[in-house]
Amino acid sequence: MALSQAPRESPPSEATFTSPLLFATPSSWVDVVMKDFDRFLLDHAAAEKKASGMAVSMLSHYPDRPELVEAMADLAIEELSHYREVVKWIHSRGQRTAADEKDPYVGRFRKSIRDGKEIYLLDRLLTAGIIEARGAERFALVGDALESGPLQKFYRAIARSEERHFELFYELASLYFAKDVVAERWQELLEDEAAIVRSLPLRAALH
């Protein structure tokens, strides 16, 4: 099975993303972000750094799955490059990076991951895919809200990257597990994620 690791050609304008999410981020979230964009940038940098670390953790835990190892190695590098780019934007605005804070969204969503060697892998892949899908949706919203220019182009490019990542995690799950099992569990986790997003307060943060 060919995994969609290589970037696809995309138009330089808005990302054409069909979201699988069951709850759309409200416009009020965008308002909160735009009012404290420097804080959002700090959280974005932390999210990219954590995503790179997660990919390294995955390839370390599953060395017997070569497709996963190769995909996560590529992903770790890409996420760290995103971190570097966000850091440049932070510094260009006269700010400095800060200590990481706990992400209430990710913390709660991880509780949906079940114990057991195989089902843990399935849930870990699918929760990661859904988190990437939420990132794609929200980065696209930020891109739409920003004025035309380099920062808007950056966020639209990031949104397209997150979309590819969501597809990659789903494809990996479908490679290792029966498609009907993946589809059923995907729907369950989407419902869990929607409930979490509905219940969380809005912050100038990705989640």
Query: Per residue in 84-102, pLDDT tens?
Result: 999 999 999 999 999 988 9
Least confidently predicted of 50-59, 97-106, 167-176, 194-203: 97-106
Using CA atoms, how far apart are residues 172 and 169, in angstroms rounded to an integer?
5
- What three-state secondary structure class fits 2? coil
Domain 30-199: CATH superfamily, name plus number: Ferritin, core subunit, four-helix bundle (1.20.1260.10)
This prediction has a pTM of: 0.90
Q: Name the H helices within 62-199.
A: 66-92, 104-110, 117-145, 150-176, 179-199
pLDDT band at 17 (very low <50, low <70, confident <90, very high): low
Asked if 24 contacts 137 with a C-beta cutoff of 8 angstroms, the reply is yes
Place of tokens 């995503």: 51
Greatest Cα-to-Cα distance within the chain, rounded to the nearest angstrom: 50
What is the structure's pLDDT at 5? Answer: 35
pLDDT band at 18 (very low <50, low <70, confident <90, very high): confident
Give me the mean pLDDT over the 155-168 stretch. 95
Indicate whether 154 pLDDT > 50: yes
Asked if 186 contacts 193 with a C-beta cutoff of 8 angstroms, the reply is no
Indicate whether 3 pLDDT > 90: no
Give me the mean pLDDT over the 61-88 stretch. 98
Q: Greater confidence, 104 or 101?
A: 104
Indicate whether 80 pLDDT > 50: yes
Sketch the domain layout of the chain as residue ranges: 30-199
